[in-house]
Structure 1
Amino acid sequence: MSASPASRLRDLPGVDDVMRHAGGAALVTRFGRAEAAEAIRAAVAEARTALRSGADAEISREAVAAEAGRRLAARDRSSLRPLFNLTGTVLHTNLGRALLAETALTAAAEAAGHAVALEYDLDTGRRGERDDHVRALLREVTGAEDGTVVNNNAAAVLLVINTFAAGREAVVSRGELVEIGGSFRIPELMTQAGATLREVGTTNRTHPKDYVAGFGPDTGLVMKVHTSNYRIEGYTKEVEAPELAGLARAAGVAFCNDLGSGTLVDLSRWGLKKEPTVREAVADGADLVTFSGDKLLGGPQVGFVVGRAEAVARVNRNPMKRALRVDKMRLAALEATLKLYRDPDRLDRTLPTLRLLARPAAEIRALAERVRPAAAAALPGFDVSVGDCRSQIGSGALPVDTIPSAGLFVRAGGDALGRLAAALRALPRPVIGRVSEGALVLDLRCLEDEAGFIATLQDLPHPHAVP
Structure 2
Amino acid sequence: MSDPSLVEVSGLYPRTFIVDEARRTLTAIRASIGNDRAASVDLTSGVIAKSIVDSVASRWGLSPTRVINATGVILHTNLGRAPLSEDAANAARRAALGYSDLEYDIETAGRGSRHAHVSSLLSTVTGAQAGIAVNNNAAAALLALSTLAGHGGDVIVSRSEAVEIGGGFRVPDVMAQSGAKLVDVGTTNRTYARDYESAIGPNTAAILKVHRSNFAISGFVHEDPLTDIVAVAKRHNIPLIHDLGSGCLVDMSVYGVKHEPTVQESINAGAHLTLFSGDKLLGGPQAGIVVGEAELVGRVSRHPLARAVRIDKMTLAALNATLRSYVRGVATDELPTLRMMAVTLDELDDVAKQWSLEIESEVSDGRTAIGGGSAPGQTLPTRRLMISAEILAETIAEQMRSHSPPVIGRIEDERFYIDPRTVLPEERGIVTEALASIAKSAKLRES
Taking structure 1 as the reference length, the TM-score comes to 0.86
Which residues of 2 match residues 55-70 of structure 1 at below 5 A? Answer: 69-70=53-54
Tell me, yes or no, if structure 1 residue 121 matches structure 2 residue 105: yes
Which residues of 2 match residues 313-462 of structure 1 at below 5 A? Answer: 313-344=298-329, 346-376=330-360, 384-411=361-388, 416-447=392-423, 448=425, 449-460=427-438, 462=441
Residue 177 of structure 2 aligns with which residue?
Answer: 192
Answer yes or no: is the 8 Å Cα contact 1:111–1:329 preserved in 2: yes
Residue 33 of structure 1 aligns with which residue?
Answer: 15
Shift of 1:43: 7.6
Residue 215 of structure 1 aligns with which residue?
Answer: 200
Which residues of 2 match residues 107-146 of structure 1 at below 5 A? Answer: 107-146=91-130
What is the CA RMSD across the aligned residues, in angstroms? 3.0
Shift of 1:400: 1.9
* Structure 2 residues not aligned, in runs of 5+: none
- Between the aligned partners of 1:47 and 1:169, the Cα distance in structure 2 is 61
* Residues 165, 71 of structure 1: alpha-carbon distance in 2 compared, 3 angstrom cutoff: closer
Answer yes or no: is the 8 Å Cα contact 1:241–1:257 preserved in 2: no
What is the CA deviation profile of residues 2-58 of structure 1, one whole-angstrom value per residue up to 9, with x for unaligned ones? xxxxxxxxxxxxx5xx3xx98765444321232344456678889999999799865
The 10-residue stretch of structure 1 (416-425 or 113-122) with the greater mean CA deviation from structure 2:
416-425
Residue 100 of structure 1 aligns with which residue?
Answer: 84
Residue 11 of structure 1 aligns with which residue?
Answer: none
What is the CA deviation profile of residues 387-426 of structure 1, one whole-angstrom value per residue up to 9, with x for unaligned ones? 110011111221122100011113478x922233233333
Q: Indicate the SS of the match to 1:107.
A: helix
Q: What number of residue pairs does the alignment pair up?
A: 438
Q: Which amino acid aligns with 2:96?
A: A
- Between the aligned partners of 1:124 and 1:385, the Cα distance in structure 2 is 64
* Residues 130, 58 of structure 1: alpha-carbon distance in 2 compared, 3 angstrom cutoff: same
Shift of 1:274: 2.0
Shift of 1:189: 1.5
Answer yes or no: is the 8 Å Cα contact 1:429–1:456 preserved in 2: no
From 85, 109, 126, give the equivalent of 2:69.
Answer: 85
Q: Which amino acid aligns with 2:382?
A: S
Tell me, yes or no, if structure 1 residue 180 matches structure 2 residue 165: yes
Answer yes or no: is the 8 Å Cα contact 2:189–2:220 preserved in 1: yes
* Residues 120, 49 of structure 1: alpha-carbon distance in 2 compared, 3 angstrom cutoff: same
Answer yes or no: is the 8 Å Cα contact 1:411–1:417 preserved in 2: no
Tell me, yes or no, if structure 1 residue 277 matches structure 2 residue 277: no
* Residues 178, 40 of structure 1: alpha-carbon distance in 2 compared, 3 angstrom cutoff: closer
* Structure 1 residues not aligned, in runs of 5+: 1-14, 377-383
- Between the aligned partners of 1:50 and 1:192, the Cα distance in structure 2 is 48
* Residues 314, 31 of structure 1: alpha-carbon distance in 2 compared, 3 angstrom cutoff: same
The 10-residue stretch of structure 1 (199-208 or 68-77) with the greater mean CA deviation from structure 2:
68-77
From 219, 222, 225, give the equivalent of 2:210.
Answer: 225
- Between the aligned partners of 1:171 and 1:67, the Cα distance in structure 2 is 57
- Between the aligned partners of 2:179 and 2:27, the Cα distance in structure 1 is 58
Tell me, yes or no, if structure 1 residue 242 matches structure 2 residue 242: no
Residue 4 of structure 1 aligns with which residue?
Answer: none
* Residues 305, 74 of structure 1: alpha-carbon distance in 2 compared, 3 angstrom cutoff: closer
Answer yes or no: is the 8 Å Cα contact 1:255–1:286 preserved in 2: yes
Q: Which amino acid aligns with 1:366?
A: D
* Residues 51, 361 of structure 1: alpha-carbon distance in 2 compared, 3 angstrom cutoff: same
Q: Indicate the SS of the match to 2:433.
A: helix
* Residues 223, 44 of structure 1: alpha-carbon distance in 2 compared, 3 angstrom cutoff: closer
- Between the aligned partners of 2:4 and 2:354, the Cα distance in structure 1 is 43
Shift of 1:364: 0.7
Residue 9 of structure 1 aligns with which residue?
Answer: none
Answer yes or no: is the 8 Å Cα contact 2:256–2:380 preserved in 1: no
What is the CA deviation profile of residues 99-146 of structure 1, one whole-angstrom value per residue up to 9, with x for unaligned ones? 100000000011111111211111111111110111111111111111
* Residues 458, 209 of structure 1: alpha-carbon distance in 2 compared, 3 angstrom cutoff: same
Residue 242 of structure 2 aligns with which residue?
Answer: 257
- Between the aligned partners of 1:466 and 1:215, the Cα distance in structure 2 is 72
What is the CA deviation profile of residues 355-414 of structure 1, one whole-angstrom value per residue up to 9, with x for unaligned ones? 0011112211111111012133xxxxxxx211110011111221122100011113478x
- Between the aligned partners of 2:17 and 2:23, the Cα distance in structure 1 is 10
Q: Indicate the SS of the match to 2:83.
A: coil
* Residues 74, 286 of structure 1: alpha-carbon distance in 2 compared, 3 angstrom cutoff: closer
Residue 380 of structure 1 aligns with which residue?
Answer: none
- Between the aligned partners of 1:356 and 1:242, the Cα distance in structure 2 is 33
Q: Percent identity?
A: 41
- Between the aligned partners of 1:236 and 1:437, the Cα distance in structure 2 is 34
Rg comparison, structure with higher value: 1
From 279, 289, 296, give the equivalent of 1:304.
Answer: 289
* Residues 133, 205 of structure 1: alpha-carbon distance in 2 compared, 3 angstrom cutoff: same
* Residues 64, 291 of structure 1: alpha-carbon distance in 2 compared, 3 angstrom cutoff: closer
Answer yes or no: is the 8 Å Cα contact 1:138–1:147 preserved in 2: yes
Answer yes or no: is the 8 Å Cα contact 1:260–1:291 preserved in 2: yes
- Between the aligned partners of 1:227 and 1:195, the Cα distance in structure 2 is 21
Answer yes or no: is the 8 Å Cα contact 2:359–2:387 preserved in 1: no
Taking structure 2 as the reference length, the TM-score comes to 0.90
* Residues 245, 33 of structure 1: alpha-carbon distance in 2 compared, 3 angstrom cutoff: same
* Residues 357, 57 of structure 1: alpha-carbon distance in 2 compared, 3 angstrom cutoff: same
